[in-house]
């Protein structure tokens, strides 16, 4: 019986790991397919196309739904809808924040190598390599590892 519980728990952990990995791979694929494109709004915004932002040493950080993001929707959603969308993709963080309101302690697994977020809220625009190639990377504030495609 104990062995069966252990196997069941290990299967759940493996499934959770695979789902987290699949989510990260999907996000990475999305970044790779849009890394060389910019939205019409970003191209029209002088802050997004300034000479400083094209300098090889510049690491511009911006919100994933901001004007300079390649993921910025053509028709922006109202901010409450955007927040609800981000929250729906981030259930562990939401559970922790709910526990603060309820004043009941809930563990927040933020140890090394653990990820409580399923979405990166910020992007870094960087030029990498020789010749420099424009890349968009997720700035994951809950993880201790940097990923470059």
3-state secondary structure 8-37: HHHHHHHHHHHHHHHHHHHHHHHHHHHCCC
Please provide the average confidence, as pLDDT, over all residues in the chain: 67
Position 52 pLDDT exceeds 60: no
Residue 89 lies in a domain: no
Is residue 92, in this structure, part of any structural domain at all? no
* pTM, full prediction: 0.40
Q: HSE-up of 28 (CA within 13 Å, CB side)?
A: 10
| Domain that residue 42 falls in | 2-75+118-139
Cα 19 from chain centroid?
Answer: 15
In a domain? residue 36: yes
Indicate if the pLDDT at residue 54 is higher than 70: no
Q: Is residue 135 part of a domain?
A: yes
Residue 80 maps to a domain: no
Number of domains in the chain: 1
Q: Is residue 69 part of a domain?
A: yes
Report yes or no on 110 lying in a domain. Answer: no
């Amino acid at each position: 019986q104990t062995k069966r519980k252990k196997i069941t728990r290990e299967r759940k952990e493996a499934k959770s790991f695979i789902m987290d990995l699949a989510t990260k791979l999907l996000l990475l694929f999305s970044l790779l397919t849009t890394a060389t494109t910019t939205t019409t709004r970003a191209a029209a915004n002088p802050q997004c196309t300034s000479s400083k932002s094209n300098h090889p040493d510049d690491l511009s950080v911006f919100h994933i739904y901001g004007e300079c993001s390649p993921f910025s929707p053509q028709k922006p959603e109202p901010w409450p809808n955007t927040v609800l969308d981000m929250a729906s993709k981030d259930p562990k963080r939401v559970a922790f924040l709910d526990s603060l309101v309820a004043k009941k302690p809930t563990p927040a697994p933020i140890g090394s190598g653990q990820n409580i977020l399923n979405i990166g809220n910020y992007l870094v625009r960087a030029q990498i390599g020789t010749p420099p190639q424009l890349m968009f990377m997720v700035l994951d504030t809950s993880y201790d590892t940097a990923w470059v495609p």
